[in-house]
């Protein structure tokens, strides 16, 4: 092992699906370590913007791809050639009590968070299996482990995601494919702006972590870079918590509704 390069990703082709917010930071971080990037997003402009950031370090392409369109995603995957690293960040949430959920809201959250992951793995993993190597990394959440009012359906999808990844790790490991999750805590992104705009709610979330603050999007990048390459060559079926100690100290807050 050359320890001076163990975190480098030179010569690897990384595909990131979901390139806004945290995804954009991950794209740039992987590129900075030498990976060639393909940025996929349901919003083609978002994918192009992420690829532009990556191109400062390494070659990068972009395309529109919707994880809910299984056939379309498979077509995109087939046209990309060999893929060494697949990172999945696409997810959604509807914050409300379970009994207030509509059937459409339930299907939307479960569909993107679970079926989307299933579709993506089905599109990209067979190529990795055929070559005998690859790393699949999906963003889960602290909600896979701990929940609060209004997060029930989202938490169920993230817990289900982790179990799906563990099963894939068991099934694909003999073929040299590693599968892991990165579980963020509360992160400063546009999707959490509503929470941070409520001073009590935002402060409560900050105080529930051991570090007493929210994460910045770029603080998720190191975990993904680690899992992508040789530094994590014997790591699979794991969930790496990047939560500022939230789950260690059992943080909880009952948010306002309405």
What are φ and ψ of residue 40, in 5° steps?
-120, 135
Contact 33, 5 (CB under 8 A): no
Give the side-chain half-sphere CA count within 13 A for 95.
13
Catalytic member of 3, 154, 205, 226: 154
Environment class of 212 (CB within 10 Å of its CB; exposed 0-12, middle 13-18, buried 19+): exposed
Q: Single out the residue of 73, 45, 59, 57 nearest to residue 13, CA to CA.
A: 59
Left, alpha or beta for 252 (phi > 0: left; psi -120 to 50: alpha)? beta
Residue that is written with structure tokens 């590129």 in the block: 31
In the residue annotation, 154 being an active-site residue is answered as: yes
Structure letter (DSSP) for residue 214: P
Alpha-carbon distance values, 71 to 51, 75, 243, 246 (Å): 24, 6, 35, 39
- Residue 180, classed as helix, strand or coil, is strand
Q: Which two tokens stand for residue 2?
A: 């050359």
- Residue 139, classed as helix, strand or coil, is strand
DSSP-derived pairing of the beta strands 36-41 and 13-17: parallel
Q: How far is the C-alpha of 118 from the C-alpha of 70, rounded, in Å?
A: 9
> Catalytic positions, please?
154
């Amino acid at each position: 092992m050359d320890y001076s390069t163990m975190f480098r990703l030179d010569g690897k082709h990384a595909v990131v699906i979901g390139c806004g917010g945290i995804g954009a930071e991950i794209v740039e971080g992987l590129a900075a370590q030498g990976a060639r990037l393909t940025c996929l997003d349901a919003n083609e402009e978002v994918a192009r913007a992420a690829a532009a950031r990556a191109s400062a370090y390494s070659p990068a392409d972009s395309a529109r791809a919707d994880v809910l369109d299984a056939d379309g995603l498979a077509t995109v995957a087939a046209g990309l050639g060999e893929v060494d690293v697949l990172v999945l960040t696409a997810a959604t949430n509807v914050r409300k009590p379970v009994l207030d959920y509509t059937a459409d809201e339930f299907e939307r959250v479960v569909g993107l968070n679970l079926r989307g992951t299933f579709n993506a793995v089905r599109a990209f993993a067979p190529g990795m299996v055929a070559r005998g190597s690859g790393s699949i990394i999906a963003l889960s959440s602290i909600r896979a482990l701990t929940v609060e009012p209004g997060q029930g359906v989202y938490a169920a999808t993230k817990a289900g995601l982790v179990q799906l990844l563990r099963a894939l790790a068991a099934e694909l490991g003999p073929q040299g494919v590693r599968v892991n999750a990165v579980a963020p805590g509360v992160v400063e992104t546009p999707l959490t702006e509503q929470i941070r705009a409520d001073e009590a709610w935002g402060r409560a979330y900050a105080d529930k972590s051991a570090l007493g603050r929210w994460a910045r999007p770029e603080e998720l990048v190191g975990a993904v870079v680690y899992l992508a390459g040789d530094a994590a060559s014997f790591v699979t079926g794991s969930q790496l918590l990047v939560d500022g100690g939230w789950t260690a100290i059992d943080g909880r807050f009952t948010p306002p509704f309405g």
